[in-house]
Amino acid sequence: MKKVLIVSYCYPPNPSICSSRSKGLAKYLPEFGWEPIVLTVNLPDDNSLKARLIKTPFPIHNSISLFKKGTNGNQKNTENILGNKIAKKNKKIFYEKMYNVLTEVLAYPDVQKSWNDYATEAGKTFLNKEKVDAIISTSSPLTCHLVAYNLNSSYSIPWVADLRDLWTQNHNYSYSFLRKYFEKKLELKTLSKAQALTTVSEPLAEKLKKFHKKEKVYSIPNGFDPEDVSTTETYDNKFSMTYTGAIYFGKQDPVPLFRAISELISQKKLQIEDLSIEFYGHNHGWLEEYIEKYELHNIVNLNGYVSREKAIEVQRKSQILLLLNWNDSKESEGIYTGKIFDYLAAGRPIISIGNCIEVVEELLDKTSAGIYASNIDEIKKEIQLKYDEFKREGMVKYNGKKLEIDKFSYREMARKYSEVLDNIS
């Protein structure tokens, strides 16, 4: 069996915060002739990665985190002495600006950059003892690619650089023009040594091809673990609609849903006692304001943070799963939200609300796992259809096509990666 070294930074101290890429490849690549060895930080629990691990130390503090910690502490002490609201506000603005400046200069290319030395040293120690046939580096953080670049330079091992989010071509790139100028050069230099690039969708792959002028750029979507697919047949007694995860103010908008539900209730097409809309994640004050505005406080519940296990449980029982897309379709071009793969595993009908995201619409269309509703009338129509079915049948039927859904599994992701690895090695 061939061996592949996967450079992946799992955010300590929680080993569950490893990318789905890393988890899926570690677990399923052996089925396709590749043994994964994961180069990562010194995790306290190895259960989440089903592979051999090369565990490195990780820097608990760095220049950015120390400054941030220190400024917060100094700020608090000063505020207690001054007791002045204006001083508090001015100091907060000052420290935020200083933090942004330091991040711009010192966090280059990211705040995990000091892991580079630990990981490169550990990787070289391993490679001096054992041969591998390929390397995969997966970001974020981007430091993973710098580690792979170092190892590739020293050992000439074929390398695949995986960018789950793009680097300087990222629509959320937030640094200055000057930093972007230099970082583009760093990206081009670093990834020039990679034999292939991968990302999560065709639109993003096209951006990489154009910027890097490489032919071997592949689109391989994220996915779900096929072992996590729901087999439950027990669903909520109410017509429940569930959203799990964060909602970003100004970027995602639940108001069309609230308005649609409110209008259907006013038209007596929905009965309040049948309804339940559940949000799991951070409780936002602005969200509560909209709930009150549309008089939905009796049916909308803000449940706060829950464990991933609890989120999966409620997804599987819900009659409908809600997906809130980004307001700006250009910003989200080519972006799958990780939530959609959890929803596919849950096996419940999805209603995707908001501006059209082509890759999401295409996924829902091919899998028949749900529908896209881009305006109030479409939302009302789809909810009414599902509600009527619920009243007739006692549940909303799931019509997902298993063969199409399986194309978004970790196993399929690993199969596609094995083909890339075979090709470059």
Asked if the model's pLDDT at residue 193 lies above 80, the reply is yes
Confidence of residue 20 (pLDDT cuts 50, 70, 90): confident
- What is the reported pLDDT for 11? 72
Confidence of residue 111 (pLDDT cuts 50, 70, 90): confident
Asked if the model's pLDDT at residue 278 lies above 80, the reply is yes
- What is the reported pLDDT for 282? 79
Q: Give the end of a domain, one of 49, 78, 106.
A: 106
- What is the reported pLDDT for 281? 86
Asked if the model's pLDDT at residue 68 lies above 50, the reply is no
- Ranked by mean pLDDT, the top range of 32-46, 88-102, 248-262, 306-320 is 306-320
- What is the reported pLDDT for 159? 97
- What is the reported pLDDT for 83? 44
Rounded CA gap, 103 and 287, in Å?
31
Asked if the model's pLDDT at residue 64 lies above 70, the reply is no
Asked if the model's pLDDT at residue 192 lies above 70, the reply is yes
Residues whose CB is less than 8 angstroms from the CB of residue 420 and which lie 6 or more positions away in sequence, other chains included: 160, 196, 198, 216, 218, 220
Q: Does residue 312 share a domain with residue 176?
A: no
Q: Compute the mean pLDDT over every residue in the chain, rounded to the nearest whole number.
A: 85
Detail the DSSP E strand segments found in 194-333: 196-199, 217-219, 239-244, 275-280, 300-302, 320-324
- Ranked by mean pLDDT, the top range of 35-49, 167-181, 200-214, 356-370 is 200-214
Cα–Cα nearest to 144, from 8, 298, 241 = 8
Q: Does residue 385 share a domain with residue 328?
A: yes
- Please give the residue that has the higher pLDDT: either 14 or 274: 274
Confidence of residue 61 (pLDDT cuts 50, 70, 90): very low
Residues whose CB is less than 8 angstroms from the CB of residue 254 and which lie 6 or more positions away in sequence, other chains included: 243, 247, 287, 290, 324, 353
Mean pLDDT calculated for residue range 131-159:
96
Confidence of residue 309 (pLDDT cuts 50, 70, 90): confident
Asked if the model's pLDDT at residue 78 lies above 50, the reply is no
**DSSP element (H, E) containing 371:** strand 370-373
Cα–Cα nearest to 25, from 423, 392, 419, 356 = 419
Mean pLDDT calculated for residue range 19-48:
85
> Which residue range is the domain that position 154 belongs to?
2-60+111-223+410-424
Asked if the model's pLDDT at residue 339 lies above 80, the reply is yes
Q: Which of 15-24, 280-289, 360-369, 395-404 is predicted with the least confidence, judged by mean pLDDT?
A: 15-24
Q: CA angle 143-162-141, nearest 5°?
A: 25
Q: Does residue 400 share a domain with residue 371?
A: yes
Q: Does residue 273 share a domain with residue 185?
A: no
Confidence of residue 331 (pLDDT cuts 50, 70, 90): low
Asked if the model's pLDDT at residue 332 lies above 70, the reply is no
- Ranked by mean pLDDT, the top range of 138-152, 225-239, 302-316, 321-335 is 138-152
- What is the reported pLDDT for 72? 42
Asked if the model's pLDDT at residue 16 lies above 70, the reply is no
- What is the reported pLDDT for 82? 38
Say what the pTM is. Answer: 0.84
Q: Are 38 and 8 in contact (CB under 8 A)?
A: yes
Locus of tokens 């649609």? 260
Q: Does residue 368 share a domain with residue 283?
A: yes
Asked if the model's pLDDT at residue 76 lies above 50, the reply is no
Q: Does residue 99 share a domain with residue 126?
A: no
What burial class does residue 268 get, using C-beta atoms within 10 Å of its C-beta: 0-12 exposed, 13-18 middle, 19+ buried?
A: exposed
Rounded CA gap, 33 and 22, in Å?
17
Number of Cβ atoms within 10 Å of the Cβ of 246: 12
- What is the reported pLDDT for 346? 93
Asked if the model's pLDDT at residue 248 lies above 90, the reply is no
Asked if the model's pLDDT at residue 65 lies above 90, the reply is no
Q: Quote the number of domains for the chain.
A: 3
- What is the reported pLDDT for 199? 95
Read off the CATH number of the domain in which 393 is found: 3.40.50.2000
Rounded CA gap, 23 and 210, in Å?
29
Q: Does residue 274 share a domain with residue 347?
A: yes
Asked if the model's pLDDT at residue 60 lies above 70, the reply is no
Structure tokens at 45: 């629990």
Q: Does residue 32 share a domain with residue 94?
A: no
Q: Does residue 156 share a domain with residue 139?
A: yes
DSSP state at residue 132: -
Q: Does residue 165 share a domain with residue 270?
A: no
- What is the reported pLDDT for 228? 86
Q: Does residue 330 share a domain with residue 307?
A: yes
Phi and psi, residue 55, nearest 5°: -100, 125
Q: Does residue 381 share a domain with residue 360?
A: yes
- What is the reported pLDDT for 360? 84
- What is the reported pLDDT for 24? 92
- Please give the residue that has the higher pLDDT: either 71 or 111: 111
Write out pLDDT tens, residues 385-403: 999 999 999 999 999 999 9
